[in-house]
Amino acid sequence: MVENYAILPCNGLDKCAGVISRELAIRLCENAKNEIICPVYYRVAEAKYNKIAGGHSLLVIDGCQTRCASKLAAEKNLKISQKLTITEEAKNHNIELKSNLRLLENENALIEIILSDLNNAQDQGRRSSVETSSLINFEYETYQNSKFIFRVPKNPEVYFNENDCWACVVGNRARIGVTDFVQQNLSDILYFTPPEIDAEIDQFGEVGEIESSKSVFELISPVSGKVISINETLVQKPELINENPYELGWFAEIGLTDFESDKELLIGFDKYFEIMKTKVEEING
Protein backbone atom coordinates (compact mmCIF):
# COMPACT_ATOMS: atom_id res chain seq x y z
CA MET A 1 0.00 0.00 0.00
CA VAL A 2 1.25 3.50 -0.81
CA GLU A 3 1.49 5.12 2.60
CA ASN A 4 3.30 8.04 4.22
CA TYR A 5 3.91 9.75 0.90
CA ALA A 6 3.66 13.40 -0.02
CA ILE A 7 1.88 13.44 -3.37
CA LEU A 8 2.73 16.18 -5.85
CA PRO A 9 0.34 15.94 -8.83
CA CYS A 10 0.42 17.99 -12.02
CA ASN A 11 -3.13 19.26 -11.52
CA GLY A 12 -3.38 20.61 -15.07
CA LEU A 13 -7.09 21.28 -15.15
CA ASP A 14 -7.35 21.95 -18.89
CA LYS A 15 -6.12 18.53 -19.93
CA CYS A 16 -7.54 15.08 -19.40
CA ALA A 17 -4.22 13.73 -18.07
CA GLY A 18 -4.03 16.59 -15.58
CA VAL A 19 -7.52 15.90 -14.30
CA ILE A 20 -6.60 12.23 -13.88
CA SER A 21 -3.44 13.11 -11.96
CA ARG A 22 -5.49 15.26 -9.60
CA GLU A 23 -8.05 12.53 -9.04
CA LEU A 24 -5.34 9.92 -8.52
CA ALA A 25 -3.71 12.11 -5.86
CA ILE A 26 -7.03 12.48 -4.07
CA ARG A 27 -7.66 8.74 -4.18
CA LEU A 28 -4.19 8.03 -2.80
CA CYS A 29 -4.95 10.29 0.14
CA GLU A 30 -8.41 8.96 0.91
CA ASN A 31 -7.49 5.66 2.45
CA ALA A 32 -3.89 6.08 3.52
CA LYS A 33 -1.66 8.43 5.44
CA ASN A 34 -0.60 10.41 2.38
CA GLU A 35 -0.68 14.16 1.93
CA ILE A 36 -1.25 16.23 -1.20
CA ILE A 37 1.02 19.06 -2.19
CA CYS A 38 -1.01 21.51 -4.27
CA PRO A 39 1.30 22.73 -7.04
CA VAL A 40 -0.54 26.03 -7.36
CA TYR A 41 -0.71 26.86 -3.66
CA TYR A 42 2.91 25.73 -3.28
CA ARG A 43 3.93 28.93 -5.05
CA VAL A 44 2.59 31.05 -2.19
CA ALA A 45 2.71 28.66 0.76
CA GLU A 46 6.18 27.25 0.47
CA ALA A 47 6.79 26.67 4.19
CA LYS A 48 3.66 24.56 4.57
CA TYR A 49 4.52 22.22 1.74
CA ASN A 50 8.26 22.10 2.42
CA LYS A 51 7.34 20.76 5.84
CA ILE A 52 5.10 18.09 4.33
CA ALA A 53 7.70 17.17 1.71
CA GLY A 54 10.41 17.02 4.36
CA GLY A 55 8.50 14.55 6.47
CA HIS A 56 7.45 12.12 3.72
CA SER A 57 8.77 10.28 0.71
CA LEU A 58 7.69 12.16 -2.41
CA LEU A 59 5.52 10.68 -5.17
CA VAL A 60 5.31 12.94 -8.23
CA ILE A 61 2.44 12.47 -10.68
CA ASP A 62 3.08 14.16 -14.02
CA GLY A 63 0.13 14.46 -16.37
CA CYS A 64 2.14 14.51 -19.59
CA GLN A 65 5.72 14.68 -20.81
CA THR A 66 5.91 18.39 -20.13
CA ARG A 67 6.63 17.17 -16.57
CA CYS A 68 5.41 20.32 -14.79
CA ALA A 69 5.22 18.54 -11.43
CA SER A 70 8.73 17.09 -11.79
CA LYS A 71 10.05 20.50 -12.76
CA LEU A 72 8.38 22.06 -9.74
CA ALA A 73 9.95 19.41 -7.50
CA ALA A 74 13.36 20.20 -9.01
CA GLU A 75 12.82 23.92 -8.57
CA LYS A 76 11.98 23.38 -4.90
CA ASN A 77 14.92 21.00 -4.39
CA LEU A 78 12.64 18.13 -3.41
CA LYS A 79 13.97 14.61 -3.60
CA ILE A 80 11.66 12.41 -5.68
CA SER A 81 11.19 8.88 -4.34
CA GLN A 82 8.77 7.70 -6.99
CA LYS A 83 7.14 9.17 -10.07
CA LEU A 84 4.74 8.32 -12.83
CA THR A 85 3.35 10.00 -15.93
CA ILE A 86 -0.32 9.58 -16.71
CA THR A 87 0.04 9.65 -20.52
CA GLU A 88 2.74 6.97 -20.31
CA GLU A 89 0.62 4.82 -18.02
CA ALA A 90 -2.29 5.17 -20.44
CA LYS A 91 -0.08 4.06 -23.33
CA ASN A 92 1.30 1.11 -21.38
CA HIS A 93 -2.23 -0.07 -20.60
CA ASN A 94 -3.64 0.63 -24.09
CA ILE A 95 -6.07 3.24 -22.83
CA GLU A 96 -6.70 6.14 -25.16
CA LEU A 97 -7.01 9.52 -23.49
CA LYS A 98 -9.13 12.12 -25.23
CA SER A 99 -9.80 15.76 -24.48
CA ASN A 100 -12.67 15.32 -22.00
CA LEU A 101 -12.19 17.01 -18.66
CA ARG A 102 -14.73 14.87 -16.82
CA LEU A 103 -13.65 11.44 -15.71
CA LEU A 104 -15.44 8.80 -17.75
CA GLU A 105 -15.15 5.01 -17.90
CA ASN A 106 -11.68 4.91 -19.48
CA GLU A 107 -10.18 7.44 -17.12
CA ASN A 108 -11.63 5.78 -14.03
CA ALA A 109 -10.37 2.40 -15.24
CA LEU A 110 -6.89 3.83 -15.68
CA ILE A 111 -6.96 5.28 -12.16
CA GLU A 112 -7.92 1.87 -10.73
CA ILE A 113 -5.13 0.16 -12.66
CA ILE A 114 -2.51 2.68 -11.52
CA LEU A 115 -3.67 2.42 -7.91
CA SER A 116 -3.44 -1.34 -8.08
CA ASP A 117 0.02 -1.23 -9.73
CA LEU A 118 1.31 1.24 -7.16
CA ASN A 119 0.08 -0.84 -4.26
CA ASN A 120 1.46 -4.07 -5.70
CA ALA A 121 4.84 -2.49 -6.37
CA GLN A 122 5.01 -1.23 -2.81
CA ASP A 123 4.10 -4.60 -1.38
CA GLN A 124 6.48 -6.62 -3.52
CA GLY A 125 9.44 -4.27 -3.57
CA ARG A 126 12.01 -4.61 -6.31
CA ARG A 127 14.65 -7.21 -6.92
CA SER A 128 17.97 -5.49 -6.67
CA SER A 129 21.48 -6.35 -7.62
CA VAL A 130 23.14 -8.93 -5.43
CA GLU A 131 26.57 -7.61 -6.18
CA THR A 132 27.24 -3.89 -6.01
CA SER A 133 31.02 -3.82 -6.21
CA SER A 134 32.78 -2.98 -9.47
CA LEU A 135 33.21 -5.79 -11.98
CA ILE A 136 36.71 -4.55 -12.80
CA ASN A 137 39.20 -2.00 -11.54
CA PHE A 138 38.47 0.99 -13.71
CA GLU A 139 41.38 2.97 -15.09
CA TYR A 140 40.63 6.38 -16.54
CA GLU A 141 41.85 8.92 -19.03
CA THR A 142 40.77 12.46 -18.23
CA TYR A 143 39.83 15.35 -20.46
CA GLN A 144 39.24 18.83 -19.07
CA ASN A 145 37.39 21.62 -20.83
CA SER A 146 37.06 24.85 -18.80
CA LYS A 147 35.74 23.75 -15.39
CA PHE A 148 34.37 20.43 -16.64
CA ILE A 149 36.30 17.22 -16.17
CA PHE A 150 35.40 14.13 -18.20
CA ARG A 151 36.74 10.72 -17.26
CA VAL A 152 36.58 7.81 -19.67
CA PRO A 153 37.54 4.25 -18.70
CA LYS A 154 40.32 2.84 -20.85
CA ASN A 155 39.97 -0.79 -19.80
CA PRO A 156 39.59 -3.14 -22.79
CA GLU A 157 36.49 -4.68 -21.17
CA VAL A 158 34.63 -1.37 -21.53
CA TYR A 159 32.85 -0.69 -24.81
CA PHE A 160 30.92 2.40 -25.89
CA ASN A 161 28.27 3.37 -28.37
CA GLU A 162 28.18 6.78 -29.99
CA ASN A 163 25.23 7.65 -27.79
CA ASP A 164 27.53 8.09 -24.78
CA CYS A 165 26.60 4.85 -23.05
CA TRP A 166 29.07 2.21 -21.92
CA ALA A 167 29.06 -1.52 -21.27
CA CYS A 168 31.61 -3.32 -19.12
CA VAL A 169 31.65 -6.88 -20.40
CA VAL A 170 32.83 -9.71 -18.20
CA GLY A 171 32.03 -13.23 -19.36
CA ASN A 172 28.43 -13.43 -20.52
CA ARG A 173 27.19 -10.40 -18.66
CA ALA A 174 27.61 -6.66 -19.01
CA ARG A 175 27.14 -3.81 -16.62
CA ILE A 176 25.88 -0.70 -18.41
CA GLY A 177 25.59 3.01 -17.77
CA VAL A 178 26.15 6.50 -19.15
CA THR A 179 29.44 8.32 -19.52
CA ASP A 180 30.68 11.47 -17.82
CA PHE A 181 29.63 13.39 -20.93
CA VAL A 182 25.97 12.64 -20.20
CA GLN A 183 26.05 13.38 -16.50
CA GLN A 184 27.95 16.65 -16.99
CA ASN A 185 25.44 17.78 -19.60
CA LEU A 186 22.40 16.85 -17.56
CA SER A 187 23.80 18.50 -14.44
CA ASP A 188 22.19 17.34 -11.17
CA ILE A 189 20.37 14.08 -11.80
CA LEU A 190 17.19 13.95 -9.75
CA TYR A 191 15.48 10.75 -10.78
CA PHE A 192 16.36 7.31 -12.12
CA THR A 193 13.82 5.04 -13.78
CA PRO A 194 15.30 1.53 -13.89
CA PRO A 195 14.43 -1.04 -16.54
CA GLU A 196 12.27 -4.01 -15.59
CA ILE A 197 14.08 -7.10 -14.35
CA ASP A 198 13.88 -9.88 -16.99
CA ALA A 199 13.10 -7.38 -19.75
CA GLU A 200 14.51 -8.40 -23.13
CA ILE A 201 16.61 -5.56 -24.52
CA ASP A 202 17.69 -5.05 -28.12
CA GLN A 203 20.97 -3.38 -28.91
CA PHE A 204 20.22 0.37 -28.98
CA GLY A 205 16.96 -0.27 -27.14
CA GLU A 206 15.92 1.83 -24.17
CA VAL A 207 17.14 0.52 -20.85
CA GLY A 208 16.28 2.99 -18.14
CA GLU A 209 15.97 6.72 -17.97
CA ILE A 210 17.44 9.55 -15.96
CA GLU A 211 16.08 12.99 -15.42
CA SER A 212 17.48 16.28 -14.25
CA SER A 213 15.85 19.68 -13.99
CA LYS A 214 17.33 20.36 -17.44
CA SER A 215 16.43 17.27 -19.37
CA VAL A 216 15.54 13.60 -19.73
CA PHE A 217 17.99 11.02 -21.06
CA GLU A 218 17.22 7.45 -21.97
CA LEU A 219 20.09 5.01 -21.78
CA ILE A 220 20.54 3.48 -25.23
CA SER A 221 21.76 -0.01 -24.53
CA PRO A 222 25.13 -0.84 -26.08
CA VAL A 223 24.29 -4.54 -25.86
CA SER A 224 21.38 -6.91 -26.36
CA GLY A 225 20.17 -9.39 -23.77
CA LYS A 226 18.06 -9.75 -20.68
CA VAL A 227 18.09 -7.43 -17.65
CA ILE A 228 19.34 -9.59 -14.80
CA SER A 229 19.69 -6.93 -12.14
CA ILE A 230 19.39 -3.21 -11.57
CA ASN A 231 21.35 -0.82 -9.41
CA GLU A 232 18.74 -0.39 -6.69
CA THR A 233 20.89 2.17 -4.86
CA LEU A 234 20.34 4.62 -7.72
CA VAL A 235 16.60 4.67 -7.11
CA GLN A 236 17.19 6.38 -3.79
CA LYS A 237 20.47 8.08 -4.72
CA PRO A 238 20.43 9.06 -8.42
CA GLU A 239 23.09 11.64 -7.60
CA LEU A 240 25.61 8.79 -7.61
CA ILE A 241 25.50 9.01 -11.41
CA ASN A 242 26.94 12.52 -11.11
CA GLU A 243 29.46 11.34 -8.55
CA ASN A 244 30.82 8.43 -10.60
CA PRO A 245 28.76 7.10 -13.52
CA TYR A 246 30.97 4.05 -13.96
CA GLU A 247 31.63 2.51 -10.55
CA LEU A 248 28.65 3.84 -8.55
CA GLY A 249 26.16 5.04 -11.14
CA TRP A 250 25.76 1.99 -13.37
CA PHE A 251 22.16 1.30 -14.36
CA ALA A 252 21.77 -2.42 -14.77
CA GLU A 253 23.36 -5.72 -15.61
CA ILE A 254 22.48 -7.51 -18.82
CA GLY A 255 22.80 -11.23 -19.50
CA LEU A 256 24.30 -11.13 -22.99
CA THR A 257 22.68 -13.00 -25.86
CA ASP A 258 24.74 -12.04 -28.91
CA PHE A 259 27.72 -9.95 -27.92
CA GLU A 260 29.79 -10.94 -30.94
CA SER A 261 27.20 -9.29 -33.15
CA ASP A 262 26.70 -6.32 -30.79
CA LYS A 263 30.43 -5.66 -30.82
CA GLU A 264 30.31 -4.77 -34.54
CA LEU A 265 28.50 -1.54 -33.65
CA LEU A 266 30.52 -0.65 -30.56
CA ILE A 267 33.74 1.26 -30.13
CA GLY A 268 36.59 1.12 -27.64
CA PHE A 269 38.24 3.78 -25.52
CA ASP A 270 40.45 5.35 -28.20
CA LYS A 271 37.64 6.14 -30.59
CA TYR A 272 35.09 7.15 -27.96
CA PHE A 273 37.55 9.49 -26.25
CA GLU A 274 38.09 11.37 -29.53
CA ILE A 275 34.36 11.50 -30.29
CA MET A 276 33.59 12.76 -26.80
CA LYS A 277 36.24 15.47 -26.98
CA THR A 278 34.78 16.68 -30.28
CA LYS A 279 31.29 16.80 -28.75
CA VAL A 280 32.50 18.71 -25.71
CA GLU A 281 34.33 21.21 -27.89
CA GLU A 282 31.25 21.70 -30.05
CA ILE A 283 29.16 22.45 -26.98
CA ASN A 284 31.62 24.44 -24.88
CA GLY A 285 33.85 25.84 -27.57
For residue 208, the SS3 value is strand
40, 101, 121, 283: residue in contact with other proteins (rule CB under 8 A): 283
274 lies in the site for other proteins, by CB under 8 A: no
Residues 63, 87 contacting (CB under 8 angstroms): yes
In 3D space, the residue among 247, 216, 243, 215 whose CA is nearest the CA of residue 231 turns out to be 247
Q: How far apart are CB 202 and other proteins at their closest, in Å?
A: 6
Residues 2, 59 contacting (CB under 8 angstroms): yes
Q: How far apart are CB 150 and other proteins at their closest, in Å?
A: 17
209 lies in the site for other proteins, by CB under 8 A: yes
Q: Which is nearer to other proteins, 14 or 30 (CB)?
A: 14
In 3D space, the residue among 9, 3, 40 whose CA is nearest the CA of residue 22 turns out to be 9
64 lies in the site for other proteins, by CB under 8 A: yes
75, 200, 202, 258: residue in contact with other proteins (rule CB under 8 A): 202
Applying CB under 8 A, what is the total number of residues that bind other proteins? 24
205 lies in the site for other proteins, by CB under 8 A: yes
| Contact region with other proteins (CB under 8 A), list: 30-38, 76-84, 119-127, 210-218 | 210-218
DSSP codes of every residue in 4-61: SEEEEE---TTSHHHHHHHHHHHHHHHSSS-EEPPTTGGGT-HHHHHHHHHHSEEEEE
Which residues form the interface with other proteins (CB under 8 A)?
64-67, 87, 161-163, 202-206, 209, 215-218, 220, 264-265, 267, 282-283
